[in-house]
Amino acid sequence: MTFATMLSTMAEGMLKTFLIFTLTLVGSLPLGMIVALLRKSRFAVVRGFIRGYISIIRGTPLMLQLLVWYFGPYYLFGINIGGWRFPAIIVGFVVNYAAYFAEIYRGGIESIPVGQYEAAEVLGYTKTQTFMRIILPQVIKIIMPSVTNEVITLVKDTSLAFTLAYQEVFSLAKQIAASQTSFMPFVIAGVFYFVANYIVEIAMNRIEKSMDYYK
């Protein structure tokens, strides 16, 4: 197999990896904010449930969670999981990363001085207006470095989709390397992950700089 053929074969896996990455971000970023707000709920039952969810997610491997999401419906309810592979991967990634983003959001929200909430109340802002117009913009700026780290980690974690025999770039690299007894597929996969993370880093740094109030 020539280098061009190898690269062409792995291109489909790269697209699948990018799809996992994109759908995970689209789902986990807003879900993480919802979880963070529920984590601060005035209802003890809700707070306890969210704490338990975050604790379980952070205390168990993502690989194990993917297996549970995929095989769980069959073992628990006898449901046919024939077409459930890709949805299970996305649900597993979204639920996992939402927990981590939630804690990042919570740290950012709690770093805002209470005086800002009080000042907004004096000025007649509602709680929703206070959060959306005053608190959230500051939170986003504060948490950007932590979010960047998680996004970079996500690029690499997409390789865990091989657990469910999904043909993303890492799975294809292993298959081609085994069949061709060649190390080159791993090099191609490594370059792909490096370039993807480099692009993510540049994009996130630009977003962070655009929020520089003192520029």
Task: Identify whether 193 is part of a domain.
Answer: no
Tokens linked to 11: 């291109």
What is the residue whose two structure tokens read 């769980």?
72
Give me the helices (H) in 41-168, please.
Answer: 44-59, 62-77, 85-110, 114-122, 127-129, 136-157
Report how far residue 210's alpha carbon sits from residue 97's, in angstroms, rounded to the nearest whole number. 25
Could you tell me the CATH number of the domain that includes residue 119? 1.10.3720.10
- Domain range for 152 is 16-163
Task: Identify whether 121 is part of a domain.
Answer: yes
**E strand or H helix at 160:** none
Distance of CA 55 to the CA centre of its chain: 17
Q: What is the pLDDT of residue 213?
A: 58
Domain count, the chain: 1
Task: Identify whether 11 is part of a domain.
Answer: no
Task: Identify whether 203 is part of a domain.
Answer: no
Decide if 16 contacts 166 (C-beta within 8 A): yes
Distance of CA 84 to the CA centre of its chain: 20
**E strand or H helix at 32:** helix 3-39
- Taking only the tens place, the pLDDT of each residue in 31-65 is 999 999 999 888 999 999 999 999 999 999 999 99
Q: What is the mean pLDDT of residues 164-168?
A: 88
Report how far residue 188's alpha carbon sits from residue 81's, in angstroms, rounded to the nearest whole number. 32
Task: Identify whether 51 is part of a domain.
Answer: yes
Task: Identify whether 21 is part of a domain.
Answer: yes
- Taking only the tens place, the pLDDT of each residue in 91-144 is 999 999 999 999 999 999 999 888 888 898 888 888 889 988 888 888 988 999
Distance of CA 43 to the CA centre of its chain: 27
